[in-house]
Structure 1
Protein backbone atom coordinates (compact mmCIF):
# COMPACT_ATOMS: atom_id res chain seq x y z
CA UNK A 1 0.00 0.00 0.00
CA UNK A 2 1.22 3.51 -0.82
CA UNK A 3 2.39 5.74 2.04
CA UNK A 4 1.05 8.78 0.21
CA UNK A 5 -1.55 10.62 2.29
CA UNK A 6 -3.72 13.49 1.09
CA UNK A 7 -4.86 15.87 3.82
CA UNK A 8 -7.55 18.44 3.12
CA UNK A 9 -6.88 21.14 5.69
CA UNK A 10 -9.16 24.00 6.59
CA UNK A 11 -9.60 26.65 9.20
CA UNK A 12 -12.92 26.48 11.03
CA UNK A 13 -15.86 28.59 9.86
CA UNK A 14 -16.45 32.09 11.21
CA UNK A 15 -16.97 31.95 14.98
CA UNK A 16 -18.16 34.22 17.74
CA UNK A 17 -14.67 34.81 19.15
CA UNK A 18 -13.64 36.13 15.72
CA UNK A 19 -16.58 38.51 15.35
CA UNK A 20 -16.08 39.70 18.95
CA UNK A 21 -12.31 40.15 18.37
CA UNK A 22 -11.41 37.94 21.35
CA UNK A 23 -7.84 36.64 21.42
CA UNK A 24 -6.61 33.19 22.33
CA UNK A 25 -7.68 29.59 21.90
CA UNK A 26 -11.20 30.26 23.31
CA UNK A 27 -12.23 26.62 23.16
CA UNK A 28 -15.93 27.23 23.92
CA UNK A 29 -16.66 29.74 21.12
CA UNK A 30 -19.27 28.40 18.64
CA UNK A 31 -19.71 29.09 14.95
CA UNK A 32 -21.80 32.03 13.85
CA UNK A 33 -24.66 31.51 11.41
CA UNK A 34 -22.30 32.54 8.60
CA UNK A 35 -19.72 30.08 9.94
CA UNK A 36 -22.24 27.24 9.78
CA UNK A 37 -23.02 28.09 6.15
CA UNK A 38 -19.30 28.23 5.37
CA UNK A 39 -18.85 24.78 6.92
CA UNK A 40 -21.68 23.40 4.80
CA UNK A 41 -20.09 24.85 1.67
CA UNK A 42 -16.76 23.26 2.60
CA UNK A 43 -18.52 19.92 2.96
CA UNK A 44 -20.05 20.34 -0.48
CA UNK A 45 -16.66 21.21 -1.97
CA UNK A 46 -15.23 17.93 -0.65
CA UNK A 47 -18.21 15.74 -1.58
CA UNK A 48 -16.31 13.83 -4.28
CA UNK A 49 -13.20 13.29 -2.16
CA UNK A 50 -12.74 9.73 -0.76
CA UNK A 51 -12.29 10.97 2.81
CA UNK A 52 -11.68 8.13 5.25
CA UNK A 53 -11.00 10.15 8.42
CA UNK A 54 -11.87 13.55 9.84
CA UNK A 55 -9.81 15.21 12.57
CA UNK A 56 -10.49 18.46 14.40
CA UNK A 57 -9.18 20.62 17.17
CA UNK A 58 -11.04 20.14 20.44
CA UNK A 59 -12.34 23.73 20.16
CA UNK A 60 -16.11 23.83 19.66
CA UNK A 61 -15.92 25.88 16.44
CA UNK A 62 -13.54 23.37 14.86
CA UNK A 63 -15.65 20.40 15.91
CA UNK A 64 -18.80 22.04 14.57
CA UNK A 65 -17.08 22.69 11.24
CA UNK A 66 -15.85 19.10 11.12
CA UNK A 67 -19.34 17.79 11.89
CA UNK A 68 -20.56 19.30 8.64
CA UNK A 69 -17.92 17.30 6.77
CA UNK A 70 -18.75 14.19 8.78
CA UNK A 71 -22.48 14.46 8.13
CA UNK A 72 -21.85 14.61 4.40
CA UNK A 73 -19.59 11.55 4.42
CA UNK A 74 -21.03 9.49 7.25
CA UNK A 75 -17.73 9.57 9.18
CA UNK A 76 -17.18 10.31 12.85
CA UNK A 77 -14.97 13.21 13.94
CA UNK A 78 -11.85 12.53 15.99
CA UNK A 79 -10.94 15.49 18.21
CA UNK A 80 -7.25 16.15 18.84
CA UNK A 81 -6.05 18.69 21.45
CA UNK A 82 -2.77 18.99 19.53
CA UNK A 83 -4.66 20.92 16.82
CA UNK A 84 -5.98 23.73 19.03
CA UNK A 85 -5.19 27.40 18.47
CA UNK A 86 -2.11 29.08 19.93
CA UNK A 87 -2.27 29.54 23.69
CA UNK A 88 -1.55 33.04 24.97
CA UNK A 89 -1.48 32.34 28.70
CA UNK A 90 -2.87 35.00 31.02
CA UNK A 91 -4.17 37.00 28.06
CA UNK A 92 -6.52 34.19 27.00
CA UNK A 93 -9.94 35.62 26.11
CA UNK A 94 -8.72 39.23 26.01
CA UNK A 95 -10.44 41.80 23.79
CA UNK A 96 -7.61 44.33 24.25
CA UNK A 97 -6.39 45.48 20.80
CA UNK A 98 -2.84 45.61 22.17
CA UNK A 99 -2.97 41.87 22.92
CA UNK A 100 -4.18 41.12 19.40
CA UNK A 101 -1.35 43.24 17.97
CA UNK A 102 1.18 41.41 20.13
CA UNK A 103 -0.26 38.07 19.01
CA UNK A 104 0.15 39.09 15.37
CA UNK A 105 3.71 40.28 16.02
CA UNK A 106 4.64 36.98 17.64
CA UNK A 107 3.15 34.97 14.77
CA UNK A 108 5.09 37.12 12.32
CA UNK A 109 8.29 36.40 14.24
CA UNK A 110 7.60 32.67 13.95
CA UNK A 111 6.70 32.69 10.26
CA UNK A 112 8.83 35.46 8.78
CA UNK A 113 11.84 35.61 11.09
CA UNK A 114 11.95 31.91 11.96
CA UNK A 115 12.15 32.90 15.63
CA UNK A 116 10.20 30.13 17.36
CA UNK A 117 11.16 31.19 20.88
CA UNK A 118 8.81 34.18 20.94
CA UNK A 119 5.53 33.92 22.86
CA UNK A 120 2.63 36.08 24.02
CA UNK A 121 2.93 36.66 27.78
CA UNK A 122 3.21 33.23 29.44
CA UNK A 123 1.68 31.44 26.45
CA UNK A 124 3.16 28.92 24.05
CA UNK A 125 6.36 29.40 22.11
CA UNK A 126 6.36 28.82 18.39
CA UNK A 127 8.46 25.71 18.95
CA UNK A 128 5.80 24.26 21.24
CA UNK A 129 3.04 25.00 18.74
CA UNK A 130 4.94 23.58 15.77
CA UNK A 131 5.90 20.46 17.74
CA UNK A 132 2.37 19.58 18.84
CA UNK A 133 0.73 20.24 15.46
CA UNK A 134 3.51 18.35 13.68
CA UNK A 135 2.95 15.43 16.05
CA UNK A 136 -0.74 15.44 15.14
CA UNK A 137 -0.06 15.43 11.40
CA UNK A 138 2.49 12.64 11.64
CA UNK A 139 0.05 10.56 13.71
CA UNK A 140 -2.70 11.13 11.16
CA UNK A 141 -0.38 10.14 8.30
CA UNK A 142 0.61 6.94 10.13
CA UNK A 143 -3.06 6.02 10.61
CA UNK A 144 -4.07 6.58 6.97
CA UNK A 145 -1.44 5.31 4.51
CA UNK A 146 -2.68 5.67 0.95
CA UNK A 147 -5.82 7.50 2.06
CA UNK A 148 -7.44 10.94 2.04
CA UNK A 149 -8.42 12.70 5.26
CA UNK A 150 -9.64 16.11 6.43
CA UNK A 151 -8.21 18.23 9.26
CA UNK A 152 -9.99 21.24 10.78
CA UNK A 153 -7.81 23.63 12.75
CA UNK A 154 -7.05 27.28 13.37
CA UNK A 155 -5.43 30.13 11.51
CA UNK A 156 -2.33 30.73 13.68
CA UNK A 157 -1.43 27.17 14.68
CA UNK A 158 -1.97 25.80 11.15
CA UNK A 159 0.02 28.65 9.61
CA UNK A 160 2.94 28.26 12.00
CA UNK A 161 3.09 24.48 11.68
CA UNK A 162 2.37 24.03 7.97
CA UNK A 163 4.64 26.92 7.06
CA UNK A 164 7.39 24.92 8.74
CA UNK A 165 6.31 21.44 7.61
CA UNK A 166 6.06 22.46 3.96
CA UNK A 167 9.04 24.85 4.07
CA UNK A 168 6.89 27.73 2.90
CA UNK A 169 8.65 30.34 5.01
CA UNK A 170 7.53 33.97 4.68
CA UNK A 171 5.43 33.11 1.59
CA UNK A 172 2.37 32.48 3.77
CA UNK A 173 2.64 35.75 5.69
CA UNK A 174 0.07 38.36 4.68
CA UNK A 175 -2.33 35.73 3.33
CA UNK A 176 -4.23 34.51 6.42
CA UNK A 177 -6.24 31.35 5.95
CA UNK A 178 -9.86 32.17 5.08
CA UNK A 179 -12.66 30.51 6.98
CA UNK A 180 -13.59 26.98 5.91
CA UNK A 181 -11.69 26.95 2.62
CA UNK A 182 -10.10 23.51 2.07
CA UNK A 183 -6.55 23.32 0.76
CA UNK A 184 -4.43 20.25 0.11
CA UNK A 185 -1.39 19.09 2.07
CA UNK A 186 0.35 15.86 1.02
CA UNK A 187 2.60 13.39 2.81
CA UNK A 188 4.72 11.37 0.36
CA UNK A 189 6.15 9.04 2.99
CA UNK A 190 9.22 11.24 3.40
CA UNK A 191 8.15 14.80 2.59
CA UNK A 192 5.27 17.13 3.39
CA UNK A 193 4.09 19.22 0.44
CA UNK A 194 1.61 22.09 0.21
CA UNK A 195 0.87 22.29 -3.54
CA UNK A 196 -0.90 25.59 -2.90
CA UNK A 197 -1.71 27.96 -0.07
CA UNK A 198 -4.87 30.08 -0.28
CA UNK A 199 -3.72 33.31 -1.89
CA UNK A 200 -0.28 32.02 -2.94
CA UNK A 201 1.25 29.29 -5.09
CA UNK A 202 4.06 26.96 -3.99
CA UNK A 203 5.49 23.55 -4.74
CA UNK A 204 8.00 23.44 -1.92
CA UNK A 205 8.34 20.81 0.79
CA UNK A 206 10.50 19.55 3.61
CA UNK A 207 11.89 16.06 4.10
CA UNK A 208 11.35 13.99 7.21
CA UNK A 209 15.11 14.15 7.89
CA UNK A 210 15.03 17.95 7.81
CA UNK A 211 11.91 17.97 9.99
CA UNK A 212 13.54 15.84 12.68
CA UNK A 213 16.77 17.83 12.48
CA UNK A 214 14.99 21.16 12.90
CA UNK A 215 12.43 20.12 15.54
Structure 2
Protein backbone atom coordinates (compact mmCIF):
# COMPACT_ATOMS: atom_id res chain seq x y z
CA UNK A 1 0.00 0.00 0.00
CA UNK A 2 1.38 3.43 -0.90
CA UNK A 3 1.74 6.28 1.58
CA UNK A 4 -1.09 8.08 -0.19
CA UNK A 5 -3.40 5.05 0.01
CA UNK A 6 -2.79 4.64 3.73
CA UNK A 7 -3.52 8.31 4.35
CA UNK A 8 -6.66 8.15 2.19
CA UNK A 9 -7.92 5.28 4.32
CA UNK A 10 -7.74 7.53 7.37
CA UNK A 11 -5.08 5.37 9.03
CA UNK A 12 -1.84 6.71 10.46
CA UNK A 13 1.30 5.76 8.62
CA UNK A 14 2.98 2.69 10.12
CA UNK A 15 6.00 3.01 12.39
CA UNK A 16 8.63 0.32 12.69
CA UNK A 17 10.45 0.02 16.01
CA UNK A 18 13.76 -1.82 16.02
CA UNK A 19 15.46 -3.65 18.87
CA UNK A 20 18.88 -5.16 18.45
CA UNK A 21 19.52 -8.29 20.51
CA UNK A 22 21.54 -8.11 23.74
CA UNK A 23 25.20 -8.93 24.11
CA UNK A 24 26.66 -12.31 23.16
CA UNK A 25 30.22 -13.52 23.66
CA UNK A 26 31.00 -12.77 20.03
CA UNK A 27 29.39 -9.35 19.92
CA UNK A 28 31.47 -8.45 22.95
CA UNK A 29 34.69 -9.68 21.34
CA UNK A 30 34.00 -8.20 17.89
CA UNK A 31 33.63 -11.51 16.04
CA UNK A 32 31.34 -11.63 13.03
CA UNK A 33 28.19 -13.42 14.17
CA UNK A 34 25.84 -14.30 11.36
CA UNK A 35 23.92 -17.56 11.52
CA UNK A 36 25.83 -19.06 14.47
CA UNK A 37 23.11 -19.43 17.09
CA UNK A 38 24.75 -18.06 20.23
CA UNK A 39 22.93 -17.34 23.50
CA UNK A 40 22.99 -14.03 25.31
CA UNK A 41 25.53 -13.43 28.04
CA UNK A 42 24.27 -12.55 31.51
CA UNK A 43 24.98 -8.92 30.63
CA UNK A 44 23.03 -9.36 27.39
CA UNK A 45 20.04 -10.67 29.30
CA UNK A 46 20.12 -7.63 31.58
CA UNK A 47 20.40 -5.34 28.56
CA UNK A 48 17.32 -6.99 27.06
CA UNK A 49 15.32 -6.43 30.25
CA UNK A 50 16.44 -2.81 30.29
CA UNK A 51 15.00 -2.28 26.80
CA UNK A 52 11.50 -2.62 28.27
CA UNK A 53 11.55 1.00 29.41
CA UNK A 54 12.11 2.33 25.87
CA UNK A 55 9.16 0.29 24.59
CA UNK A 56 6.79 0.81 27.51
CA UNK A 57 3.39 2.20 26.67
CA UNK A 58 3.57 1.45 22.94
CA UNK A 59 0.66 -0.57 21.55
CA UNK A 60 2.18 -2.88 18.94
CA UNK A 61 0.00 -4.38 16.22
CA UNK A 62 2.78 -6.62 14.97
CA UNK A 63 5.87 -7.97 16.78
CA UNK A 64 8.47 -9.91 14.80
CA UNK A 65 11.72 -11.56 15.77
CA UNK A 66 14.61 -13.22 14.03
CA UNK A 67 14.53 -17.00 14.59
CA UNK A 68 18.03 -16.95 16.14
CA UNK A 69 17.98 -17.45 19.90
CA UNK A 70 19.79 -14.22 20.77
CA UNK A 71 16.92 -12.29 19.20
CA UNK A 72 14.11 -14.51 20.47
CA UNK A 73 15.47 -14.37 24.01
CA UNK A 74 15.82 -10.61 23.79
CA UNK A 75 12.23 -10.30 22.61
CA UNK A 76 10.99 -12.38 25.53
CA UNK A 77 13.02 -10.53 28.15
CA UNK A 78 11.92 -7.19 26.70
CA UNK A 79 8.30 -8.20 27.24
CA UNK A 80 7.34 -9.89 23.97
CA UNK A 81 7.48 -13.67 24.48
CA UNK A 82 4.87 -14.25 21.75
CA UNK A 83 6.76 -12.43 18.99
CA UNK A 84 6.23 -13.97 15.56
CA UNK A 85 9.31 -15.59 14.04
CA UNK A 86 10.33 -13.87 10.80
CA UNK A 87 12.86 -16.03 8.91
CA UNK A 88 13.98 -13.11 6.74
CA UNK A 89 15.24 -11.20 9.80
CA UNK A 90 18.36 -13.30 10.40
CA UNK A 91 21.74 -11.59 10.44
CA UNK A 92 23.97 -11.25 7.38
CA UNK A 93 25.47 -14.61 6.41
CA UNK A 94 29.17 -13.79 6.76
CA UNK A 95 30.41 -16.87 4.94
CA UNK A 96 34.14 -17.45 5.49
CA UNK A 97 34.29 -14.56 7.98
CA UNK A 98 31.84 -16.18 10.41
CA UNK A 99 33.42 -16.18 13.88
CA UNK A 100 36.40 -14.11 12.72
CA UNK A 101 37.26 -10.94 14.59
CA UNK A 102 36.77 -7.96 12.31
CA UNK A 103 40.09 -6.53 13.51
CA UNK A 104 41.84 -9.63 12.14
CA UNK A 105 40.26 -9.11 8.74
CA UNK A 106 41.52 -5.52 8.66
CA UNK A 107 45.00 -6.64 9.66
CA UNK A 108 45.13 -8.66 6.46
CA UNK A 109 43.36 -5.98 4.42
CA UNK A 110 43.61 -2.52 6.07
CA UNK A 111 41.16 -0.98 3.61
CA UNK A 112 38.48 -3.60 4.15
CA UNK A 113 34.89 -2.46 4.68
CA UNK A 114 32.13 -5.03 4.67
CA UNK A 115 29.79 -2.47 3.08
CA UNK A 116 32.04 -2.20 0.02
CA UNK A 117 33.93 -5.49 -0.08
CA UNK A 118 31.32 -7.97 1.08
CA UNK A 119 32.18 -11.38 2.53
CA UNK A 120 33.67 -14.42 0.78
CA UNK A 121 31.21 -17.29 0.28
CA UNK A 122 28.46 -15.46 2.18
CA UNK A 123 25.52 -13.25 1.30
CA UNK A 124 25.91 -10.22 -0.90
CA UNK A 125 24.72 -6.87 0.40
CA UNK A 126 21.99 -6.98 -2.25
CA UNK A 127 20.71 -10.27 -0.84
CA UNK A 128 20.59 -8.82 2.68
CA UNK A 129 18.78 -5.76 1.33
CA UNK A 130 16.19 -7.94 -0.42
CA UNK A 131 15.35 -9.60 2.90
CA UNK A 132 15.10 -6.21 4.58
CA UNK A 133 12.82 -4.93 1.83
CA UNK A 134 10.46 -7.84 2.36
CA UNK A 135 10.01 -6.86 6.01
CA UNK A 136 9.51 -3.18 5.20
CA UNK A 137 6.83 -4.23 2.73
CA UNK A 138 5.23 -6.54 5.30
CA UNK A 139 4.90 -3.65 7.75
CA UNK A 140 3.63 -1.13 5.20
CA UNK A 141 1.05 -3.27 3.42
CA UNK A 142 -2.35 -4.27 4.87
CA UNK A 143 -2.26 -7.36 7.05
CA UNK A 144 -4.11 -10.54 6.02
CA UNK A 145 -7.22 -9.35 7.88
CA UNK A 146 -7.16 -6.03 6.01
CA UNK A 147 -5.96 -3.91 8.92
CA UNK A 148 -3.12 -1.42 8.59
CA UNK A 149 -0.23 -1.64 11.06
CA UNK A 150 0.15 1.29 13.42
CA UNK A 151 3.24 0.25 15.36
CA UNK A 152 5.40 -2.77 14.54
CA UNK A 153 8.44 -4.06 16.43
CA UNK A 154 11.30 -6.05 14.94
CA UNK A 155 13.90 -7.74 17.16
CA UNK A 156 16.94 -8.66 15.11
CA UNK A 157 20.65 -8.04 14.50
CA UNK A 158 23.09 -5.18 14.11
CA UNK A 159 24.08 -5.25 10.44
CA UNK A 160 20.66 -6.41 9.32
CA UNK A 161 18.84 -3.62 11.15
CA UNK A 162 21.25 -1.04 9.77
CA UNK A 163 20.56 -2.25 6.23
CA UNK A 164 16.83 -2.25 6.91
CA UNK A 165 16.98 1.32 8.22
CA UNK A 166 18.66 2.50 5.04
CA UNK A 167 16.04 0.75 2.94
CA UNK A 168 13.17 2.23 5.00
CA UNK A 169 14.57 5.65 4.10
CA UNK A 170 14.82 4.72 0.43
CA UNK A 171 18.63 4.74 0.51
CA UNK A 172 21.07 2.24 -0.93
CA UNK A 173 21.68 -0.60 1.50
CA UNK A 174 25.32 0.42 1.88
CA UNK A 175 24.25 3.64 3.56
CA UNK A 176 23.54 1.50 6.62
CA UNK A 177 27.21 2.07 7.44
CA UNK A 178 26.22 5.45 8.90
CA UNK A 179 23.86 4.02 11.54
CA UNK A 180 25.77 2.66 14.53
CA UNK A 181 23.62 0.42 16.70
CA UNK A 182 24.67 -1.00 20.06
CA UNK A 183 23.36 -4.17 21.67
CA UNK A 184 19.77 -3.97 22.98
CA UNK A 185 19.31 -0.43 21.64
CA UNK A 186 15.90 0.73 20.39
CA UNK A 187 15.17 2.82 17.30
CA UNK A 188 12.00 4.14 15.68
CA UNK A 189 11.51 4.42 11.93
CA UNK A 190 8.61 6.65 10.98
CA UNK A 191 7.73 9.63 8.84
CA UNK A 192 8.17 13.35 8.33
CA UNK A 193 4.77 13.94 6.77
CA UNK A 194 5.04 11.62 3.71
CA UNK A 195 8.82 11.19 3.82
CA UNK A 196 10.29 8.12 5.55
CA UNK A 197 12.39 9.31 8.48
CA UNK A 198 14.24 8.20 11.60
CA UNK A 199 12.27 9.40 14.61
CA UNK A 200 14.60 8.04 17.31
CA UNK A 201 17.89 6.17 17.24
CA UNK A 202 19.76 4.12 19.81
CA UNK A 203 17.57 4.65 22.87
TM-score by length of 2: 0.77
Pair 1:27–1:132, CA change in 2 (3 A): same
Is 1:197 matched with 2:201? yes
1:87-124 Cα shifts (integer Å, max 9, x gaps)? 111332334743377797122x3xxxxxxxx4210111
Moved over 4 A (4+): 100-104, 167-172, 187-191
Counterpart check, 1:179 vs 2:179: no
Q: Is 1:139 matched up with 2:138? A: yes
Structure 2 equivalent of residue 6 of structure 1: 15
- Equivalent pair of 1:175/1:198 in contact (CA under 8 Å): no
Give CA deviations for 1:30-81 in whole Å, capped at 9, x if unaligned: 111111111111113212111232111111111111112345xxx6111112
TM-align CA RMSD: 3.1
Q: Give yes or no for contact 1:13–1:61 (8 Å, CA) kept in 2.
A: yes
The corresponding residue for 1:119 is 118
Alignment check: 8 A CA contact 1:86 1:157 kept: yes
Say if 1:3 and 1:188 are closer, same or farther in 2 by CA, change over 3 A.
farther
CA contact (8 A) 1:129 1:160 kept: yes
SS of the equivalent of 1:93 reads coil
Distance 1:59 1:104, change over 3 A: farther
Between the aligned partners of 1:86 and 1:145, the Cα distance in structure 2 is: 29
The gaps in structure 1 that reach 5 residues or longer are: 110-117, 200-215
Question: Structure 2 unaligned runs (5+)?
Answer: 1-9
Measure the CA separation in 2 of the matches of 1:96 and 1:8. Answer: 28
1:89 aligns with 2:95: yes
How many residue pairs get aligned? The number is 187
TM-score (norm 1): 0.73
CA apart distance, 1:192:
3.2
| Shift, 1:132, TM fit | 0.6
